[in-house]
Structure 1
Amino acid sequence: MTIPVDHPQRLLLNHELHARLPESLAPPEQISHLVLSSDAEMVQQEREKLTEICIRFGHPIPTSKDNHLRIDLGPFRLQWEKHTEFTSYTFFRRGPFQEPFANTVIESIPQDWLAELPGQVLVAAHLAIYPLPEKPRNPDELAAALFEGNAVTGARIGEGAGIAYADFRLHKDGFSRFIIKDISLTPRQAGRAVQRLLEIESYLIQALRTYPLARRTMPMLGHAEQELAQITEAIASATTEEESELLDQLTKLAASTESLASSIQYRITAAQAYYELVQRRINELRELRVEGMQTFREFCERRMGPAMHTCETVLRLQENLSRRIGRASELLRTRVNISLEHQNQQVLSSMAERAKLQLHLQETVEGLSVAAITYYVVGLVGYLARAAEAAGLPINPDLTIGISIPVVALSVALSVRKIRRMVSRNHDVD
């Protein structure tokens, strides 16, 4: 069968449908999970470390360029996942164990290899999944035996197919702890439960990374609010000279606010996205209450809710501050424009007065011009009259000059007036 060629992204998109599927787990199983800060530039280093661990355990070197990889190295299984801001390494080991957190999986990993992993640790967790014992411990006994006496969060998951416990605290080894007691979980359900619990803590920490930034930003926004209030108050009584200075201050405040916004908006938006993922993973647990324990949803809402509200409040304050600065800038620019219009009106009035004065001067000059031209023309007429008299013609030069003066003056005046009208008409047309 022959079909058209594949789209360049067809294979990639198909792989993405099956990316990060949960492991199929058959309890008892121990899991160790690491989340390290990372970026796109670390991908090559991470792949080199994966190649190194494969060589150590005699496993074929992976050739896949996907952002997720599963390798069975014999004593343990490794799952590597590359995310936008972090990378996770999850180690699985199947088999019976005496205590859930004794002789953990990560202790069997080459320690020099672990120490050289690129990035910094954000999350480290141990998880054990095993069948529900015949005589399960009550919450107090469980906390004392496995969680160093810490308050434990727990719930029935999968609508009662298992029970999950956690304390979300770092223990002496630097790892947090999770337990899943299997009642009737299928291997796929067990894998999904493990994946969701580990992702809940990973995304919680990622969301919380924004909280310190939000707390540092709050005083900056308060200072900017005070500065804006002072500028706004000064605008009401500002003189024309002061308006330009206030506009300069307002422009600097707007620039600093926008710079602050660019540094926090992405992080807060990312925190909101991570927190939404946490809520989705909790929904997918389909948890039921265990008597005397707070559920995972209650823990996240009580501990994470206030931090997220702080981040969202900072974002709203910044957006409101930007809008208020914009309105103050528009108000001040309007005042400056009105002042400029008044100045322009004064300039135009002054120009009109000068034009009127020029018109009067022009009319005076025109009168002088008529007199001067008349004088010269009449002089020419006098020369012609004397020449005619000398030629024997019966002409009185003095009488001729006297008669020509009004005629010449009137003709010159009409000509000058006509020329001025033509110039004015052409100027109006232009």
Structure 2
Amino acid sequence: MTAKPVALDFHPLRADLYQELHSRPFQVLPPSARVSHIAVITTPEQRKNQFKHLQSLHRMLGEPWPEEEVTCYEQTFDQLRIRREVHMEFTAYTFTNLAPSDAEPFEETGISALPHGWLKQLQGTVVAAFHIDVSPSSAHARDEPAFMRRHFEGMRLVGSSPQEGAARVLGTFQLHSDNFGRFMVINDSMSDSQLGRLVQRLMEIETYRLMSLLALPVARDITPALNDMDQQLATITQALADNETLDEQTILAKLTHIAAKIEAFRAHSTFRFSATKAYHQLVLTRLEELREDEVSGHLTITEFMTRRLTPAVKTCESVGVRLEDLSRRVDRASDMMRTRVELAIQSQNQELLSSMDRRSRIQLMMQHTVEGFSVVAISYYLIGLLSLGLSALAGAGYPVNKPVALGIAIPVVLATVFVVIRLIHHRFIRMADRQ
């Protein structure tokens, strides 16, 4: 009996959140299979063209093609299984040849069953490309190391017995004559599902290993420039510590140039270094899931990765930390230079204010002098006006002693003008003080 749905307000992404855990299911592999895995870095435009390219493969095989792109697409055509996984930075293709074969390992691969010419038209930049030969165990393969080495072109092998000895994994982590890597999985007691999970983890380890190493050339390119900037910054900082006479504008220009270069390096490398850290963590997680046992005479995959991959990742991390440290040191040096410049400006301003104060005192003294002349000038004009007035009164017949009147008026006028000018002067001073 089917339960009736409950009318609740479900989150619009609820179904997607449930489906996310099942978006990339593990493969199920038979005891004998040839697998080829290719990881391609793509642009958004190339990714669209890749999906059209996948549709063309279906047409070439005479099969219905998918109409919409999904995160993980898997389809089996008779003896060929195709799996395409879309990741944030790359797209992974897995081609599995399920046809029975008596050929030697790596004589037939997963891409052998593809239509001729289709793979060459695949757009994008290939980072990982390797073959995995899956076969059941045999006494001949288990007991003869030379049997293994001849299929890896004499290269040194790395291998282990994962899942507590239920299988053996061998590889070189190198490119072979066909420009592909090679791995061999010899199954002892695993089921088809366990074998599929083992192969999936092996593909992810190799793909994520290569993706994590993409930052190493970036770190190597940046390091010489960082050494040079570190030396320049040390020289500037030492000069500041010794309190040397410096050209502040030139030093600030150098610091600005160093800061700009650091920010350019950070913009170019931050994503790559962060991705490397994430990919490396995925590699370590997949290695833990292998649960390896040692195969006599060979490094295990975990030992090999710890010895080779981890130092490379640590190098990238150290360059990233060094960039951040240099950025902080440049900021501190710039702050010190700005403080030094501000102190110099304050000293100049203090000298300017002192000079202005001296000029103000001189102007005040000059003003007092001018005020004395002003009293005389104003009094002179007032006495002149008074003389004209007295002359007019005398002409009108009034008995006025003009010389005596002018003699008495001169000191009175001088005193009055002086007092009035001082009162006006003090009034303006009080107004300035209030402001």
TM-score of the pair, normalised by structure 2: 0.91
Separation in 1, partners of 2:62, 2:141 = 41
Aligned-pair distance for 1:210?
1.4
Identify the residue that residue 68 of structure 1 maps to in structure 2.
72
Separation in 2, partners of 1:5, 1:109 = 48
Q: State the AA in 2 paired with 1:227.
A: Q
**Structure 1 unmatched ranges of 5 or more:** none
Aligned-pair distance for 1:332?
1.8
Q: State the AA in 2 paired with 1:341.
A: Q
Q: How do residues 115-194 of structure 1 correspond to structure 2 at under 5 angstroms? A: 115-134=120-139, 136-138=141-143, 140-194=145-199
Identify the residue that residue 113 of structure 2 maps to in structure 1.
108
Identify the residue that residue 81 of structure 1 maps to in structure 2.
85
Identify the residue that residue 216 of structure 1 maps to in structure 2.
221
Aligned-pair distance for 1:182?
2.3
Label 1:162 to 1:245 Cα distance change in 2 as closer, same or farther (>3 A): same
Separation in 2, partners of 1:5, 1:116 = 47
Identify the residue that residue 258 of structure 2 maps to in structure 1.
253
Instruction: Pick the aligned partner of 1:380 from 378, 385, 393.
Output: 385
| Mapped pair 1:338 → 2:354 | no
| Mapped pair 1:51 → 2:67 | no
Separation in 1, partners of 2:167, 2:413 = 124
CA distances 1:278-304 after superposition (whole Å, capped 9, x unpaired): 111111112222333221111101111
Separation in 1, partners of 2:15, 2:55 = 24
Label 1:42 to 1:4 Cα distance change in 2 as closer, same or farther (>3 A): farther
Contact 1:30 1:105 in 2 (8 A): yes
Q: Residue 164 of structure 2: SS of its match in structure 1?
A: coil
Contact 1:79 1:91 in 2 (8 A): yes
Q: How do residues 206-285 of structure 1 correspond to structure 2 at under 5 angstroms? A: 206-235=211-240, 236=242, 238-239=244-245, 242-285=247-290
Identify the residue that residue 326 of structure 1 maps to in structure 2.
331
Q: Residue 112 of structure 1: SS of its match in structure 2?
A: coil
Contact 1:143 1:150 in 2 (8 A): no
Instruction: Pick the aligned partner of 1:416 from 403, 411, 421.
Output: 421
Separation in 2, partners of 1:18, 1:428 = 82
Instruction: Pick the aligned partner of 1:357 from 358, 362, 367.
Output: 362
Q: State the AA in 1 paired with 2:375.
A: V
Q: Residue 122 of structure 1: SS of its match in structure 2?
A: strand
CA distances 1:232-270 after superposition (whole Å, capped 9, x unpaired): 445546546x22122212211221222122222221221
Q: State the AA in 2 paired with 1:270.
A: A
Separation in 1, partners of 2:32, 2:77 = 19
Q: Residue 97 of structure 1: SS of its match in structure 2?
A: coil
Q: State the AA in 1 paired with 2:361.
A: K
Q: Residue 369 of structure 2: SS of its match in structure 1?
A: helix
Aligned-pair distance for 1:112?
0.6
Q: Residue 258 of structure 2: SS of its match in structure 1?
A: helix
CA distances 1:120-139 after superposition (whole Å, capped 9, x unpaired): 32211111223322455247
Identify the residue that residue 295 of structure 2 maps to in structure 1.
290
CA distances 1:44-98 after superposition (whole Å, capped 9, x unpaired): 1111111001111122110233232111122301001122222111011335433
TM-score of the pair, normalised by structure 1: 0.92
Contact 1:33 1:89 in 2 (8 A): yes
Separation in 2, partners of 1:139, 1:393 = 155
Separation in 1, partners of 2:279, 2:429 = 76
Q: Residue 154 of structure 2: SS of its match in structure 1?
A: coil
Separation in 2, partners of 1:278, 1:370 = 99
Identify the residue that residue 300 of structure 1 maps to in structure 2.
305
Contact 1:143 1:151 in 2 (8 A): no
Q: Residue 321 of structure 2: SS of its match in structure 1?
A: helix
Aligned-pair distance for 1:227?
2.5
Separation in 2, partners of 1:181, 1:207 = 28
Instruction: Pick the aligned partner of 1:205 from 210, 220, 237.
Output: 210
Contact 1:40 1:84 in 2 (8 A): no
Label 1:274 to 1:77 Cα distance change in 2 as closer, same or farther (>3 A): same
Q: What is the percent sequence identity of the aligned residues? A: 38
| Mapped pair 1:36 → 2:33 | no
Root-mean-square deviation over aligned CA pairs: 2.2
Separation in 1, partners of 2:231, 2:283 = 37
Identify the residue that residue 427 of structure 1 maps to in structure 2.
432
Q: Residue 59 of structure 1: SS of its match in structure 2?
A: coil
Q: State the AA in 2 paired with 1:261.
A: R
Number of matched pairs? 429
Contact 2:51 2:69 in 1 (8 A): no
